[in-house]
Structure 1
Amino acid sequence: MRVALFITCVNDTLFPGTGRATVRLLERLGCQVEFPAAQTCCGQMHFNTGYRADAAPLARRFTDTFDGYEAIVVPSGSCAAMIREWYPTLGVQPPAGVHELSEFLVDVLGVTDVGAYFPHTVTYHPTCHSLRSLRLGDRPYELLSAVRGLTLLPLGGAEECCGFGGTFALKNPAVSAAMGTDKMRNVLDTGAEVLCAADNSCLMHIGGTLRRQRAGVRTMHLAQILAATEEEPA
């Protein structure tokens, strides 16, 4: 299958390892991955902050850039939700084949066992957009449960927001920090070595809190764990 990767600006700028892991994973599953070089931001930050007129050209650029692809994989629940749910409110019809990574693996490729090996204890945080907008449900859990060597631990208060919320964290830093602290306590209560999520923006927020407390818990995007094998580093 010919697949286009929309890396997202957060991943491209701060977490390029997620993009590399996504490509490694998809190619291992037989996909032909292409990276349209004209891609930029999906416009979510502008849209959520009230600058809808500035978000519209970015939405049009996205649809023009990814036109003609059978499938477009997005390793970010929030960006996938922006494209699918909010582009129409800007008068832009999104491409039909936009999928968050776990959706693409489970629903399109029809796989849950992707051949991964990750011998660590992991807990999963379902980010707000992936939980409430995309309604990913059990897809990420099914994928993680099929990883050899991985022990998946339940996260208390999993459905509670971590407090990042994009520019919410900048406009309401005290509230954001308090929510992040609550999430950190729940993560620590699991005893897990690794916190996993489908959005690096949320992992950045929770991970910063964990690092400041020297908690010793790593944060990893779902793609990085699913791409890991005995032969390849995570």
Structure 2
Amino acid sequence: MPQVSLFVTCVVDQVFPRVGLAMADVLERLGYDVDFPEAQTCCGQPAFNSGYRREARDVAKHFLDTFAQADYVVVPSGSCTSMISHHYRELFHKEPDWLERAEALEPRVWEFSKFLTDVAKVEDVGASFGAKVTYHDSCHALRELQIKTPPRRLLSRVRGLELIEMDKAEECCGFGGTFSVKFAGTSGGMAGTKIESILRTGADYVVSIDSSCLMQLQGALLRAGSRVRTLHLAEVLASR
């Protein structure tokens, strides 16, 4: 089996480390040699989205140096994967040497669920999770990476899990990184609309492939007094 290098993202590293551990557990269960490059920091997305392009380039260059030799880079986030696979080209369009390096790495960078279904060629990872679950499509994963089916295929093969689709699965949760800080009122309103859709399903858990969305949704659910909890897809797939 080729070696898989984990890029765990800032949010997972600082707030939800259990997601990174769950992802490693699933990949090792499938027989992959899992590597965690300790020099990793950030993909550069926060700076990029806030307009700090020079700072974003510096961070992106460090990312490219850190993962240059990886067979595969697997990421538990649609937004970070999209940053690397879509926006590094824009960052480095005036630096041909770095652009070449970014384009060389791009085909080896995979969002976690897409890696499982398209590279590992698996849907049943041996997971068991007895609960009702609804799935939230994160914006970058759905709109930039066109990831909609892989997470659902994986969830459908989890023993004991009942997947209930919400009517607003594709609507934004309102997080959007610094958007939720700069436009807190709008962000909160969007989260409220999403929460109403979640509650109508009667699900016990909301699952997604982006921890930043789940952080936004969990906060809104708690403020609403709901017992519904959030889980990353990797956590569900690691359950036995």
Instruction: State whether TM-score is above 0.5.
Output: yes
Equivalence map 1:1-234=2 (5 Å): 1-91=2-92, 92=99, 93-94=102-103, 95=105, 96-229=107-240
Q: Indicate the larger mover: 87-96 or 145-154.
A: 87-96
Aligned length: 229
Farther off after superposition, 87-96 or 182-191: 87-96
**SS of aligned partner of 2:216:** helix
**Percent of paired sites with the same residue:** 50
4+ residue runs over 3 A deviation: none
2:96 is aligned to none
> Which AA in structure 1 matches 2:40?
Q
Report the alpha carbon displacement of residue 137 of structure 1 after superposing the two structures with TM.
2.2
Q: Residue by residue, what CA displacement relative to the aligned partner does 1:79-100 show, whole Å, maximum 9, x if unpaired?
A: 0000000011111415130000
In the aligned structure 2, how far is the partner of 1:156 from the partner of 1:206? 16
- Gaps of at least 5 residues in structure 2 are 93-98
CA deviations over 1:154-207 (Å, ceiling 9, x no partner): 111111111110001011111000000000000000000000000010010011
Query: What are the ranges of 5 or more consecutive residues in structure 1 without an aligned counterpart?
Result: 230-234
Q: Deviations over 1:202-224 (max 9, x none)?
A: 01001101011220001000000
**Alignment partners' CA distance in 2, 1:190 and 1:130:** 22
Q: Which SS does the other structure have where 2:213 is aligned?
A: helix
The amino acid of 1:87's aligned partner reads: Y
Q: Distance in 2 between matches of 1:52 and 1:69?
A: 25
Q: TM-score, normalised by structure 2?
A: 0.94
Question: What SS class does the counterpart of residue 230 from structure 2 fall into?
Answer: strand
Deviation at 1:49, TM superposition (A): 0.5
Distance 1:177 1:137 in 2: 25
Once residues 36 and 71 of structure 2 are traced to their aligned partners in structure 1, the CA distance between those partners, rounded to angstroms, is: 13
Q: Secondary structure of the residue that 1:111 maps to in structure 2?
A: coil
**How far 1:8 moved relative to its partner?**
0.4
- CA deviations on 1:42-97 (whole Å, 9 max, x unpaired) are 11000000001100011111111001111110001000000000011111415130
Q: Counterparts of 1:137 and 1:165 in 2: how far apart (Å)?
A: 19
**What amino acid does structure 2 have at the position aligned with 1:196?**
V
1:1-43 deviation per Cα after TM superposition (whole angstroms, max 9, x unaligned):
2100000011000000000000111000100000001100111
- TM-score, L = length of structure 1: 0.96
